[in-house]
Structure 1
Amino acid sequence: MSEITVRGLTEDEWETYRSVRLAALEESPEAFAATLAEEQGYDEDLWRLRMRRSQRLLAEDADGNAVGVASVGHAEDAPERVAELFGLWVRPQARGTGVATQLVQAGADTARAQGRSHLAYWVGTDNGAAVAFASGFGFRPTDSRRPMRVSNGADEDEIAMVLPLGDDRGVPTLA
């Protein structure tokens, strides 16, 4: 894979985010709580609101083609010092090339720049690859669990994994 850059998107780049988000929902519908049909119906005002609510990160190849996306925001039920990484997706042809690692690193850098002390990432307890990826990056499992937001018919839970971003190595409690 060619050189990859990750950058934060501005509100005015809502159409870029929309395009990549819809591609993610189409290619990996099982990975997201939302549906392609639902998000295709969102108007510009809603997309702009989403851009203001969280920092959207875009991974691009040397030709400027979008190859991945992730978001960093704050979950309502989390302590203020904890940012949340969510919506991580990499185009199939770019998987296994380090794009996800670069997106997570950019997410950690973004959260740190926002003054957050930890980055949380919810992972399906039965998704061994995702748990291994997060663990390899330095995320640590917590006692926080919730029902899987994406239902595949199984009774699966998600676990909050947390990455300390500074000197505070403790693991905050998440709802």
Structure 2
Amino acid sequence: EGVVYVASPLRFESHAEPHGLLIIWLGTYKVATPSVKLGIEPTVRLDQDNEPQPDGVLLIPESAGGQSTLSEDDYIEGAPELVAEIAASSVANDLHDKKKAYRRNGVQEYIVWQIFENQLDWFSLQQGEYVPLAADGNGIVQSQVFPGLWLSVPDLLAGNMTRVLTVLQEGLNSAEHADFVQRLSGQL
């Protein structure tokens, strides 16, 4: 939105550690889905007024039908399919200005892990608005953009990464994920 934010120093338990856990989850998905790209804190040139550096992004390469590109100087231009943010001191910015910019520019899914509130919101862009993705009865949320990207939200919030990765593996074993991998590899 044309505003420069100076990031606070990053604390360990309220940012670095949860960031690491989120990247373990996203990284495991990326390993099992070779055509997608994972980035940590990349500069994203959304538009002429917004160049955020989200904590994590998953994107589909342009050659496989993705909506963002890599510039000649190696920056993401346009909206990655998924953006994830760890929000401790930045929660107001992450849930307001950044959320608006991501929505307006077409980021299809936006995850905000609010550390102090012990809450994770996963939004899906539907008809130009962000709608929370509903968890099933076990607290599992499934990506609408990345088939097989499943998250047990209660387990992530509790730090139970064994269960988080078990649930993700169930998603990776799904027919939808296999079809997605096949579809992406056929388009490259």
TM over 0.5: no
Q: Quick check: which one's strand share is greater?
A: 1
What TM-score does the superposition give when structure 1 sets the normalisation length? 0.38
What TM-score does the superposition give when structure 2 sets the normalisation length? 0.36
Relative contact order: is structure 1 or structure 2 higher (C-alpha 8 Å, sep ≥ 6)? 1
